[in-house]
Amino acid sequence: MAIEVEVRQGNIVEVETDALVVNLFKGVKVPGGATGAVDRALNGAIREVIAAGDLEGKLGETVVLYPRGAIPARRVIVVGLGESSKFDLEAVRKAAAAAAQRARSLGARDMATIVHGAGIGGLSPEDAAQATVEGTSLALYRFPKYQQKPNNEEKKGPERMTIVEFSADKVPVIEAGARAGKIIADSVAFARDLVMEPPNVATPAELARRAQTMAEDVGLKCEVLTDPQLEELGMGLLLGVAQGSANRPHFVVLEHNAGRDDLPTIVLVGKGITFDTGGISLKPSRDMWKMKHDMGGAAAVLGAMRAIALLDLPLHVVGLTPFVENMPDGRAYRPADVLHNMKGKTAEIISTDAEGRLILGDALGYAARFNPKAVIDLATLTGSQVIALGSLAAALFSNDDDLANRIWASSRRTGEWVWRMPLWDEYKDLIKSDVAEVKNAGGREASLTTSAKFLEHFTEGYSWAHLDIAGPVWTDKGKDYRPKGATGYGVRLLVDLLRQFT
């Protein structure tokens, strides 16, 4: 369960809690502010730890002190904020994450914290509060659903966090930031859960049900297209991929502010391959299990739609998530097949493992009916994205510099990094087909870019950006506020982007 958040005006030294979190910039010998107040109440205990050389204030460093009755808190966690010159929202999230993980390892059932960086270094208290909640909540994320006992060393994390602010003037903005942080972190967890679910559970039908339930909960319009409607629409690319699976495709259409034609329309598209075996162009079995995350783009779109609804952004936002399974079978599509999308555009299949671009080819055609101001798709599209950028940054492609720059700015703010790649027309030569308009694979050369050129062929003249998130969707190691496994990458980026659009 996600951590509950409460904001309270008061003096930090008077707060009763299992774990009280204060902070320290690197190099500070005599702490001020809330940390200074706690230090004085503890008769200089924090100064003593610093003087002993046991606390430098490095980002994410933690030290635990026991107040022995000097204040009502049972423990004090001092967390390092790093260099004040490098301090930003990402540092806030990392510091909050480190404190939360320390609180969990101590078995704290609740925690209280100050907002890291409220009013320092150009951060607004609202953004800092949001980041404090995000870092705390996201760091404590787990997926224990299929374990009778939670994983070995893991204790249950704190269930509640209280943000304590001394200045009554700041409380309303901190409340607003904390509320947004809670909505966004819960939406990231929603996306992570969908990616973590095994593919025997998270079938296209099940993911459509989850989308529907979520939509009802938060007040989104939801429509689910199945075989009859998909055939009616002529979504040949999507149906081609779906041919080999007994789990039939489900195309989810979500709308926030449906029918509000006074508002600008943004369409979000997410690749939703519930499992990617490669199809007839079968993948090697090594690491194939990871292809359960091949619906991470769709999960990010669903998570973002959830947050957008709860934040009630003044935009008309459409979320398109085609859910399809890519399996080999007697009925499966094959290399050399020619398929057409719902607009009659054609593609020759070279590899049935280049399936994501096919289902997106239909979703990008469908996006046109909303007359969008911008269309943004997220997809675990290529192995070459992982080779190029790893899990640190998504590859960004766009036909619109203004949109690309907005995404870049959101990427810097959220720590969900992107790096722009070229969409030069010369690359389209690599996916020329002798029998159709384009082919779905162009060989090893520039394969990251040719996947984007393939998608571009199926766009309809609107402003468009494509994010290849094959690496960022998953982390093998786990770090900071991204525990090992599904990252929920894209939810925070999209929400930030759309909040800036308004």
Interface with Zn ion, residue 294, by CB under 5 A: yes
For Zn ion, which is the closer residue by CB, 57 or 356? 356
Interface with Zn ion, residue 490, by CB under 5 A: no
For ligand BES, which is the closer residue by CB, 272 or 319? 272
Helices marked H in 42-170: 45-51, 89-105, 125-139
Q: Which of 26, 47, 357, 413 is catalytic?
A: 357
Nearest residue (beta carbon) to Mn ion: 353
Question: What kind and span of H or E run contains 180?
Answer: helix 171-196
Interface with Mn ion, residue 353, by CB under 5 A: yes
Q: CB-based burial of residue 18 (10 Å sphere; 0-12 exposed, 13-18 middle, 19+ buried)?
A: middle
For ligand BES, which is the closer residue by CB, 24 or 349? 349
Q: How far is the CB of 198 from Zn ion (least distance, A)?
A: 17
Q: How far is the CB of 358 from ligand BES (least distance, A)?
A: 9
Interface with ligand BES, residue 354, by CB under 6 A: yes
- Per CB under 5 A, the list member of 90, 134, 206, 276 interacting with Mn ion is 276
- Please report the DSSP string for 397-439 in residue order: EES-HHHHHHHHHHHHHHS-EEEE----GGGGGGGB-SSSSEE
For the chain, state the CA radius of gyration: 24
Confirm whether 479 is a catalytic residue.
Answer: no
Which candidate, 92, 90, 100, places its Cα nearest to that of 62? 100
Indicate the pairing of strand 464-468 with strand 393-398: antiparallel
Q: How many residues does the chain have?
A: 502
Can you tell me the distance from the alpha carbon of 479 to that of 358, in angstroms, rounded to the nearest whole number?
A: 34
Q: How far is the CB of 291 from Zn ion (least distance, A)?
A: 7
Q: Checking phi first, is residue 223 left (phi over 0); if not, alpha (psi -120 to 50) or beta?
A: beta
Q: Which partner, ligand BES, Zn ion, Mn ion, none, binds residue 351 by CB below 5 to 8 Å per kind?
A: ligand BES
Count of residues near Zn ion by CB under 5 A? 4
- Per CB under 5 A, the list member of 236, 272, 356, 442 interacting with Zn ion is 356
Helices marked H in 224-333: 227-233, 236-242, 296-311
Q: How far is the CB of 173 from Mn ion (least distance, A)?
A: 46
- Per CB under 6 A, the list member of 447, 449, 459, 475 interacting with ligand BES is 447
Interface with Zn ion, residue 296, by CB under 5 A: no
Interface with Mn ion, residue 126, by CB under 5 A: no
Q: Which partner, Zn ion, Mn ion, ligand BES, none, binds residue 383 by CB below 5 to 8 Å per kind?
A: ligand BES
For Zn ion, which is the closer residue by CB, 164 or 320? 320
**What tokens does 227 get?**
């075989």
Confirm whether 357 is a catalytic residue.
Answer: yes
**To 5 degrees, how large is the angle CA 177–CA 178–CA 184?**
90
Amino acid (1-letter code) at residue 120: I
Q: Are 87 and 117 in contact (CB under 8 A)?
A: yes
For Mn ion, which is the closer residue by CB, 197 or 355? 355
Which residue do the tokens 């096919």 mark? 358
Interface with Zn ion, residue 199, by CB under 5 A: no
Q: Which part of the chain contacts Zn ion (CB under 5 A), choosing from 61-69, 109-117, 157-165, 352-360?
A: 352-360
Q: Are 268 and 257 in contact (CB under 8 A)?
A: no
**What tokens does 429 get?**
């030569």
- Per CB under 6 A, the list member of 294, 337, 480, 496 interacting with ligand BES is 294
Question: What kind and span of H or E run contains 273?
Answer: strand 272-276
Interface with Zn ion, residue 468, by CB under 5 A: no
- Per CB under 6 A, the list member of 61, 206, 276, 325 interacting with ligand BES is 276
Interface with ligand BES, residue 441, by CB under 6 A: yes
**142: Cα separation from own chain's centroid:** 15
Q: Which partner, ligand BES, Mn ion, Zn ion, none, binds residue 459 by CB below 5 to 8 Å per kind?
A: none
**347: Cα separation from own chain's centroid:** 31
Which residue do the tokens 């707060």 mark? 15
- Per CB under 6 A, the list member of 380, 391, 411, 463 interacting with ligand BES is 380
Count other C-beta atoms under 10 Å from residue 466's C-beta.
29
Q: Which partner, Mn ion, ligand BES, Zn ion, none, binds residue 470 by CB below 5 to 8 Å per kind?
A: ligand BES
For ligand BES, which is the closer residue by CB, 225 or 354? 354
Q: Which part of the chain contacts Mn ion (CB under 5 A), choosing from 50-58, 89-97, 352-360, 361-369?
A: 352-360
**309: Cα separation from own chain's centroid:** 16
Q: What share of the chain is helix, strand, coil (3-state, %, to 5)?
A: 40, 20, 40
Residues 383-422 as x/- pattern, contact with ligand BES by CB under 6 A: xx-x------------------------------------
Residues making contact with ligand BES (CB under 6 A): 276, 294, 351, 353-356, 380-384, 386, 441, 447, 470
Q: Which residues bind Zn ion (CB under 5 A)?
A: 273, 276, 294, 356
- Annotated catalytic residues are 283, 357
